[in-house]
Amino acid sequence: MSRARRQSATSELARGVTATVSVTCLSDGRAHDVPDTELSQPSGYYSALCGHVVAAAPMVAPEGAPCPLCAEVWDLNHGRQRRRLHF
């Protein structure tokens, strides 16, 4: 999938999001921005703003490097001001 096409698809997800939780993925080691409403699913797999399906690492594990695409998608839809929940 091209980057422009991926961004337009993920932009739709990001538009209604007001808060995200940083969740590190077991498969790529990055900390992705996951809409707080996604965390109500008990599966352990969540859709990040960038479109990546996150296999959640244990919450006691150190946070991975931030996903640059998640940050870019957020900024495109909400401006530079970010609201993230850190636990």
Q: Which domain holds residue 20?
A: 3-85
Give this prediction's pTM: 0.73
Q: C-alpha distances in angstroms, 21 versus 24, 34, 50, 66?
A: 10, 5, 13, 12
Domain count of the chain?
A: 1
Q: For residue 46, is pLDDT > 90?
A: yes
pLDDT at res. 82? 54
Q: For residue 8, is pLDDT > 60?
A: no
Q: 4 versus 57: which is more confidently predicted?
A: 57
Q: What is the bridge-based pairing of β-strands 45-47 and 53-55?
A: antiparallel
Mean pLDDT, residues 24-33 taken together: 96
